[in-house]
Structure 1
Amino acid sequence: MFEPLLADIWASLFKMKPEIRAKDVDSILEVNKSLMVKIMADEYFVNYRRFTRLDDLLSAICTVKFGEKTNQWLADQKEEDEDFKKQMQEINAMHRQLQKQDWQEEAGNDSQVSKEDFTEAMTKFDKKLNQMLQSDSQSFSQALAQAMQETKQVKAGLKSLLGGYGAGSGDAELKKIPLRDQLVLAEKMSTDKTMKEIAEWAGRFKQIARKKQKSIHRDSMERRGVTLGNEIERLLPLEFGLYMHPITKNDFLRRFVEGQTMQYEQKGREVLEKGPIVLCLDQSGSMSHLDTQSKGFILTLMSIARKQRRDFCLILFSTRTQIHKYEKGKIKGSDMVSLARTFLGGGTNFALPLDQAMNVINESQFKQADLVFVTDGEDTLNDSFLLTFNKKKKEKDFNVLSLVLGSSTKIVEQFSDRVIQIYDFDDAGSFTAFEI
């Protein structure tokens, strides 16, 4: 009975004007009808639909959540009421027997269950269920409220994982991703604690990145003369004076509406196409306690790459490397699940990831790549490697920002343009990476 119940729940959440129209339904669906009447009569149901109506993702997530909570409520009632439990067991046994009879096409067997007996049992059970829904309506309503709250949390997590760093960009970014991928991630968000933590860190870091990038954009703008328009933040002080004076206020408002007020003309400095963003991330054993933080950090840099339409390359390293390339910073839901589960462990080798990073940057047609190197370990690099690396860095015009977690910076300084010591990824120093 549960599969058609889920279909009804989905329709009630997704459709524009859902209503229960069937007066008489098959006996096996009487219970579903009682549950749907209760769900749609819930005092907060109309409010829930404000979020789910015509929303493929939210209605699907909420359907599963409502189904889970309804199933759990029935299980709880079964444990508390012996008669309810007995009726459920009898109905399940009768239903299995009816299915068996249909499969085997038996006839004239005295042990057979008649459909009339099953219908009578379902009617009796439906009556019992309605009594319980009436007597314990508060717990059922609370279960629905909890389901809706979990739905919102999952949606917020998905926006943190898949959205950009721009304010209000989460929903727009989600719509670019196939619904199947969204649902795969939604399932993981519901059951996997690690995914939830990664989403929380990604959400926090993207807010910080937004401020960092906004500051960069503001600083890159130059005032070049005066033009006409109606952008408040660019109006000349003279226009504000005219607005404040009672005699000239109406004239100002007219010109403002028509876009004829004087404002500063601003032009951004020329932006050249840049090469990839390459992140070399230490995944030696000592970094395991920062794993969820680091994944949130990765997703934030990836969102910056997506915004800037730059390829993003992630090089995980320990004593081996694992390379993941994301064109224009785009990542599939399945790749994100795989990334969340990945941790290399082992020791630390600097030469491996740096060599791989050089190969990636060599493949790029653009100069001005950005390489972010993150480690909490120490290693040695021979002079010939450093000479080759620094020569290539000059040729390809790329910068290296190194974030060092609580260890010596002596070796890292030999191949980096800037080195910042941090305690963890939530340290203000690590946010420098969001300025690239």
Structure 2
Amino acid sequence: MAKNIRPLSRQELLSPAVTDVDAFTALRYIRHRETVPALPELEDKGNPQLPGFESALLDLYHALWSPEPQVKDQVPPDRQYWQTLLGQAMATSAYQETHGYTSLKEFESVIGTISMAETVLTLVPEKDKKQLQKTTAAQQEANQMQEQSDQAQANADTLQQLTDTAQDAAASGNHPGMSAQEAQARANQLSQQATQAKADAQAAQELAQESALQAEIAAEELLGKPGSEQAEQKLRELTGIGIQALKKTQAKVEELSETIEAWGLEPAELSQQPIPEALALLERMRKNEHMRKFAALLGRVRRIATKKAKNKIAGEGARMTRTETGRDIKRAQRSELVALTSSHLRYPALTRWAHGELRLVSQQTKQKLGHGPVIVCEDGSGSMDGAKQQWAKAVTLSLATYAKLQKRTFAWILFDARVQKQKTFQGGSVSPKNMLDIVEAQAGGGTDFEKPLRAAMELVKTQGLKKADIVFITDGECAVSASFLKEFLAVKAGLDVNIITVLCDVASATAETVKKFSTTVEKASGFTAEEAENKIIKYL
């Protein structure tokens, strides 16, 4: 949780809001505000420039997250600038495109809120910010005067009620403990006080109206008189600010979505950790030098691996449907979809969604036995630097996705002259952080094929990973001894192991050694995503 956050109630946020944001969405935003430091930091930065910025952030979150947000028709003068800016922005095609990326998506909505708020703060002219301060001060005075007027009117109404009661008592003779003269005197005194209170209330109301008029004038100075050329010019100006902010936000959200897609991540995986940590992880993924160069190809390869894995699963047994709970609206039961679109049922349905308790349809396949693990031996030696390493990482992550979708154990061995790193993920339980760790792992020394191959076979023997598929990714620049080769081939046959070598022949490479121990050798040169399916995945 971020430190030193000023507590805000839902009502404090909802009252100045210019959208139809409800209490449920406000509560969701408050929870994000408590865990995403960038939000309260933006409040501190924005409030001196655009008063009421806390509520503006809520409006932005609602506009991006909620399926059908609307801007209010009537708002106080000090909120009219923000109402106009946001309303004009939401009326553009740029908003519709951005909203398509963010609707009901937590990470995209939060990052979009932050991005758009930062851009708006940058683009709003300084003269507007100064006039907004004036308008806000005028509105605060008008609010204070209205409160005083309401209090004065309440006092006048109370005194009038007391006067009416006293006069009735004096007229009816029902005044215990008082003479008729005393009762009448008391009624006259109250009448005078009520008359004065009524005059005071009238005066307070006039002051309140004058203050409200000054707030309207201040807003009009900022936005222009309705129908005037100044108003039309300001409308165009605010529309431009909104469109620029949306375009930057769309680019940011698209970048985030592309990173999620390229790395084959699922929203459910990311939602298992706090948003700041998830966003930090995605930022590391986005900035990864190797994957930035190879992202497009990686995304295509992983999509084909995903399709192939799902096709294999689909054809390997009877499908069983069962009910589970979660937040994946695409798999929500029909009754839940109906509830989400019903004004009476939407709040509890969204509550279930927020808590991961939405009723989902789950289809599972009774898979046939015989699927072994996928073990990747990745050559990280110095000769693999550059494009070869990029290919190695892309293939490794694609195979991790493939194993994960099939719930097959995935093992990864990074080697150079020795085994540098080795990890095993039972049942394909590879998290986004695991994938990033694999990509960022480097070696860079000499090359020894025997050590990683021994390590792979040891995994097969000690962890019961029989019928394994070992994918050996290298440029082939190494030799193995005759004694090792004889021993290895015997173990390979005994354990029913399949070895597919991916030869990264972007520059120098040789298949002479790997042919001796591989079931098949495929060259990476000229690989397309489609060829990856035929040349690698078909063997698994």
After TM superposition, the score normalised by the length of structure 2 is 0.54
Q: Render the CA deviation track for 1:37-88: whole Å, top value 9, x for unaligned.
A: 44334454355434433232332232233234334534xx56xxxx679x59
CA distance in 2, matches of 1:190, 1:413: 36
Q: Which residue of 2 aligns with 1:410?
A: 512
Segments of structure 2 that go 5 or more residues without pairing to the other structure are 1-42, 47-52, 135-213, 225-230, 318-364
Q: Which residue of 2 aligns with 1:127?
A: 222
Q: Which runs of 4 or more aligned residues in structure 1 lie more than 6 Å from their structure 2 counterparts after TM superposition?
A: 123-126, 128-131, 214-221
Q: Which residue of 2 aligns with 1:56?
A: 106
Instruction: Tell me whether 1:349 sits opposite 2:451 in the alignment.
Output: no
Q: How does 1:352-371 map to 2 (within 5 A)?
A: 352-371=451-470
CA distance in 2, matches of 1:37, 1:126: 19
Cα distance 1:84–1:420, how it changes in 2: closer, same or farther (>3 A)?
A: same
Cα distance 1:71–1:317, how it changes in 2: closer, same or farther (>3 A)?
A: farther
Q: Render the CA deviation track for 1:108-129: whole Å, top value 9, x for unaligned.
A: xxxxxxxxxxx99xx7999389
Instruction: Check whether the contact 2:64–2:109 (CA below 8 A) recurs between aligned residues.
Output: yes
Partner SS, residue 162 of structure 1: coil
CA distance in 2, matches of 1:19, 1:353: 60
Cα distance 1:427–1:156, how it changes in 2: closer, same or farther (>3 A)?
A: closer
Displacement of 1:400 in angstroms is 0.9
Instruction: Check whether the contact 1:274–1:368 (CA below 8 A) recurs between aligned residues.
Output: yes
Instruction: Check whether the contact 1:162–1:174 (CA below 8 A) recurs between aligned residues.
Output: no
> Which amino acid in 2 is paired with 1:333?
P
Of residues 306, 312, 316 in structure 1, which corresponds to 2:404?
Answer: 306
Partner SS, residue 502 of structure 2: strand
Partner SS, residue 472 of structure 2: strand
Displacement of 1:408 in angstroms is 2.2
Q: Render the CA deviation track for 1:154-206: whole Å, top value 9, x for unaligned.
A: 2243133125xxxxxxxxx4335425465344434565565544542222113
Q: Which residue of 1 aligns with 2:75?
A: 23
Q: Which residue of 2 aligns with 1:249?
A: none
Cα distance 1:139–1:366, how it changes in 2: closer, same or farther (>3 A)?
A: same
> Which amino acid in 1 is paired with 2:537?
F
Q: How many residues align?
A: 344
Cα distance 1:47–1:220, how it changes in 2: closer, same or farther (>3 A)?
A: closer
CA distance in 1, matches of 2:119, 2:68: 24
Q: Which residue of 1 aligns with 2:394?
A: 296
Cα distance 1:7–1:335, how it changes in 2: closer, same or farther (>3 A)?
A: farther
Instruction: Check whether the contact 1:275–1:370 (CA below 8 A) recurs between aligned residues.
Output: yes
Partner SS, residue 386 of structure 2: helix
Displacement of 1:272 in angstroms is 2.5
CA distance in 2, matches of 1:126, 1:189: 48
Q: Which residue of 1 aligns with 2:372?
A: 275
Between the two proteins, what is the percent identity of the paired residues?
25
CA distance in 2, matches of 1:32, 1:41: 14
Cα distance 1:133–1:413, how it changes in 2: closer, same or farther (>3 A)?
A: same
CA distance in 2, matches of 1:365, 1:286: 33
CA distance in 1, matches of 2:99, 2:529: 40
Cα distance 1:182–1:358, how it changes in 2: closer, same or farther (>3 A)?
A: same
CA distance in 2, matches of 1:24, 1:377: 72
Partner SS, residue 385 of structure 2: helix
Partner SS, residue 315 of structure 1: strand
CA RMSD of aligned residues (A): 4.1
Instruction: Check whether the contact 1:376–1:404 (CA below 8 A) recurs between aligned residues.
Output: yes
Partner SS, residue 512 of structure 2: coil
CA distance in 2, matches of 1:363, 1:375: 25
Higher Cα radius of gyration: 2
Instruction: Check whether the contact 1:157–1:196 (CA below 8 A) recurs between aligned residues.
Output: no
CA distance in 2, matches of 1:124, 1:191: 44
CA distance in 1, matches of 2:386, 2:469: 26
Q: How does 1:159-198 map to 2 (within 5 A)?
A: 159-163=261-265, 173-178=266-271, 180=274, 182-188=278-284, 194-198=290-294
Instruction: Check whether the contact 1:158–1:199 (CA below 8 A) recurs between aligned residues.
Output: no
Cα distance 1:282–1:190, how it changes in 2: closer, same or farther (>3 A)?
A: closer
Cα distance 1:6–1:380, how it changes in 2: closer, same or farther (>3 A)?
A: same
Q: Which residue of 1 aligns with 2:298?
A: 202
Cα distance 1:62–1:310, how it changes in 2: closer, same or farther (>3 A)?
A: same
Q: Render the CA deviation track for 1:302-322: whole Å, top value 9, x for unaligned.
A: 121112211111111122321
Partner SS, residue 263 of structure 2: helix
**Bigger mean CA deviation after superposition, 210-219 or 376-385:** 210-219
**Bigger mean CA deviation after superposition, 194-203 or 399-408:** 194-203
Instruction: Check whether the contact 2:409–2:428 (CA below 8 A) recurs between aligned residues.
Output: yes
After TM superposition, the score normalised by the length of structure 1 is 0.65
Cα distance 1:381–1:292, how it changes in 2: closer, same or farther (>3 A)?
A: closer
Instruction: Check whether the contact 2:65–2:109 (CA below 8 A) recurs between aligned residues.
Output: yes
Cα distance 1:137–1:352, how it changes in 2: closer, same or farther (>3 A)?
A: same
Q: How does 1:418-433 map to 2 (within 5 A)?
A: 418-423=520-525, 426=528, 431=533, 432-433=535-536
> Which amino acid in 2 is paired with 1:175?
A
Instruction: Tell me whether 1:319 sits opposite 2:417 in the alignment.
Output: yes
> Which amino acid in 1 is paired with 2:376?
L
CA distance in 2, matches of 1:313, 1:300: 13
Q: Which residue of 2 aligns with 1:6?
A: 57
> Which amino acid in 2 is paired with 1:6?
L
Instruction: Check whether the contact 2:485–2:517 (CA below 8 A) recurs between aligned residues.
Output: yes
Cα distance 1:39–1:211, how it changes in 2: closer, same or farther (>3 A)?
A: closer
> Which amino acid in 1 is paired with 2:510?
S
Instruction: Check whether the contact 2:380–2:442 (CA below 8 A) recurs between aligned residues.
Output: yes
Partner SS, residue 381 of structure 1: coil
CA distance in 2, matches of 1:340, 1:126: 56
Instruction: Check whether the contact 1:202–1:296 (CA below 8 A) recurs between aligned residues.
Output: yes
Q: Render the CA deviation track for 1:2-54: whole Å, top value 9, x for unaligned.
A: 472433311222234534558348x7x78655643443344543554344332
Q: How does 1:50-129 map to 2 (within 5 A)?
A: 50-74=100-124, 127=222
CA distance in 2, matches of 1:217, 1:126: 66
Q: Render the CA deviation track for 1:321-345: whole Å, top value 9, x for unaligned.
A: 2113223223223233333322222
Cα distance 1:126–1:340, how it changes in 2: closer, same or farther (>3 A)?
A: farther
Partner SS, residue 445 of structure 2: coil
Displacement of 1:277 in angstroms is 0.5
CA distance in 2, matches of 1:429, 1:54: 36
Q: Which residue of 1 aligns with 2:137?
A: none
Displacement of 1:151 in angstroms is 1.7
